[in-house]
Structure 1
Amino acid sequence: MSIGNSPEDERPFHDVSEEARTSVGRALQQARIAAGLTVDDVSSATRVRIAIVHAIEADNFVPCGGDVYARGHIRTLARAVHVDPAPLIEQYDAEHGGRPAPTPAAPLFEAERIRPERRGPNWTAAMVAAIVVVIGFVGFTAFKGGDDGSNAKDQVAQGASPTADKSASPTPKKSKPADKPEPSDSAIAAAPQDKVTVQVSAVNGRSWISAKDHNGRMLFDGLLKKGDSKTFQDSSKINLILGDAGAIQLYVNGKKIEDAFQPGAVERLTYTKGDPEVG
């Protein structure tokens, strides 16, 4: 007879409570049913799309577009069905790796610093130059026509009606500045050939985006509102995640990307110095 633990005592212990715990989506679904609400009711009250409500209740958080959006949807749906969102958020973080570390300030500043500067024509300098030319022309004409002016004065003194001198210099017309040229694709996203440059513009709506350099360092992680634009640059590679690719227009290394991204689609993209083709 042996003394000590039997082989059965050394078997791994299974945490039954973890296995039996209700998932986040299931908890929200049960609370909604208990509150007597339909998915349409919850969607109308929270303005969260019906498809996303169904996906969350099925524990599918991919349509949310990222952890930030997922936490926000969980909090909104929990309040709509009258449950405390804090435990559900904690459970989501535990099951999906916890909250991401805050984005370092230095990469954000670096992304802003390397943004290609687009300078338009200096219309102020052009107008000043045009005014100087006009003033010089008027002064020269007045000096040259001094003798003609004295003859006109003599005629007035003698009682003769002064007539218009056809040889008088015409009134100079103010030059009209040329129409401002429309910027080309290369001017919109100018990029050096020894680096990869990616410009992300939210032209069709807002979208969450994430951008990392070739070392995996985070350059940006946040929401672009409609009309916003971000430019990222690296020596070899830029990795992107687009939460709503249909709202985004991309320029890579000075060229427009013509991929027809679908609205609401999540896209993971990588671009290098040799693109615009996806690396």
Structure 2
Amino acid sequence: MSNGNSPEDERPIEVSPDVSEDVSEEARPSIGRALQQARIAAGMTVDDLTTATRVRIAIVHAIEADDFAPCGGDVYARGHIRTLAKAVGLDPAELLAQFDAAHGGRPAPTPAAPLFEAERIRPERRGPNWTAAMVAAIVAVIGFVGFTFVKGGDDGPSEASVAEGPQSTSGGSASPSAEAKKPDAPEPEASDSAIAAAPRDKVTVKVTATEGRSWISAMDHNGRRLFDGLLKEGDSETFQDDEEVNLVLGDAGAIQLYVNGKKIEDDFQPGAVERLTYTKGDPQVG
């Protein structure tokens, strides 16, 4: 009697005597079959796997059926395979090697672009503080008027008494200029828009995983791969090119973008795959 698996799952693989030594390699479970068996062994449903990885249900079903077309290309398929394998406790390297062998291999990786010096956050230059200047001018005027009244007190006691006010029995009173002084207004904090001083002659894109983890891919304008991997929550990567930066976000809802020093406010949905292109100047989605 079967313990929950179909008859096909339990049927032994028959090997003909005249088959070559590569039979053991061919008899290895397919990528989708291996992921499905590992998921079942881990006691996870497809819904559980989708919740844990944010890979859509339809794509999980397709990959377990060895149909990688819904992934949108080999690059995206590799990212999904890596994510699903880690979630069910398999070694992604073995499955990726099996995928590459069946799909022409993976292009040689290139190092990620170095972080540019302007990545250090610097506040943008602020204009003059007109509020503080106005307060200082008012204090100066009041001080000048008070000094004039006090100076005029030498010609007659009546003017001095008006300028100085009633004398206290303790023997002293504060001068009008001292009473008129007001504390300078506090200087405003640096603007929230002062994220980074990005060079104007280049495209600069900073990617941060803020709402979970996401697989991302980045290329320059020549198609050279700048990055291909998984960002965990809190991780950041920065890319730079002379013309444009092309991004693919496996889970756009988990990503926050800063392009050319400006925060991108697009409302990306959790689990959505986004393909984006950014150029120099004010960020525009290609």
TM-score normalised per structure 2 = 0.55
Q: Which residue of 1 aligns with 2:187?
A: 178
Q: Which residue of 2 aligns with 1:39?
A: 45
Match of 1:165 among 159, 162, 173: 173
Q: Provide closer, same or farther for how the CA distance between residues 21 and 116 of structure 1 changes in structure 2, counting only shifts above 3 A.
A: same
1:54 positional shift: 3.7
Q: Which residue of 2 aligns with 1:94?
A: 98
1:237 positional shift: 2.0
1:119 positional shift: 2.3
Q: Which residue of 2 aligns with 1:3?
A: none
Match of 1:208 among 211, 215, 219: 215
Percent sequence identity is 55
Q: Which residue of 2 aligns with 1:113?
A: 117
Give the letter for the 1:262 counterpart.
Q
Give the letter for the 2:84 counterpart.
H
5+ residue gaps, structure 2, are: 1-19, 141-147, 154-166
Give the letter for the 1:96 counterpart.
D
Deviations 1:36-81 (A, max 9, x none): 946269749x945683754542335649966466335324424xxx
Q: Provide closer, same or farther for how the CA distance between residues 71 and 113 of structure 1 changes in structure 2, counting only shifts above 3 A.
A: same
Contact 1:208 1:243 in 2 (8 A): yes
Deviates most, 193-202 or 56-65: 56-65
Give the letter for the 1:111 counterpart.
L
Q: Which residue of 1 aligns with 2:204?
A: 197
Contact 1:114 1:232 in 2 (8 A): no
Q: Provide closer, same or farther for how the CA distance between residues 171 and 119 of structure 1 changes in structure 2, counting only shifts above 3 A.
A: same
CA distance in structure 2 between the partners assigned to 1:41 and 1:257 by the alignment = 31
1:217 positional shift: 3.7
1:90 positional shift: 1.9
Give the letter for the 1:269 counterpart.
L
Q: Provide closer, same or farther for how the CA distance between residues 195 and 32 of structure 1 changes in structure 2, counting only shifts above 3 A.
A: closer
Q: Which residue of 2 aligns with 1:6?
A: none
CA distance in structure 2 between the partners assigned to 1:229 and 1:36 by the alignment = 31
Contact 2:209 2:234 in 1 (8 A): yes
Q: Which residue of 1 aligns with 2:245?
A: 238
5+ residue gaps, structure 1, are: 1-12, 79-84, 138-143, 149-160
TM-score normalised per structure 1 = 0.56
CA distance in structure 2 between the partners assigned to 1:38 and 1:202 by the alignment = 26
CA distance in structure 2 between the partners assigned to 1:252 and 1:41 by the alignment = 35
Q: How many residues end up aligned between the 2 structures?
A: 238
CA distance in structure 1 between the partners assigned to 2:42 and 2:215 by the alignment = 33
1:265 positional shift: 1.9
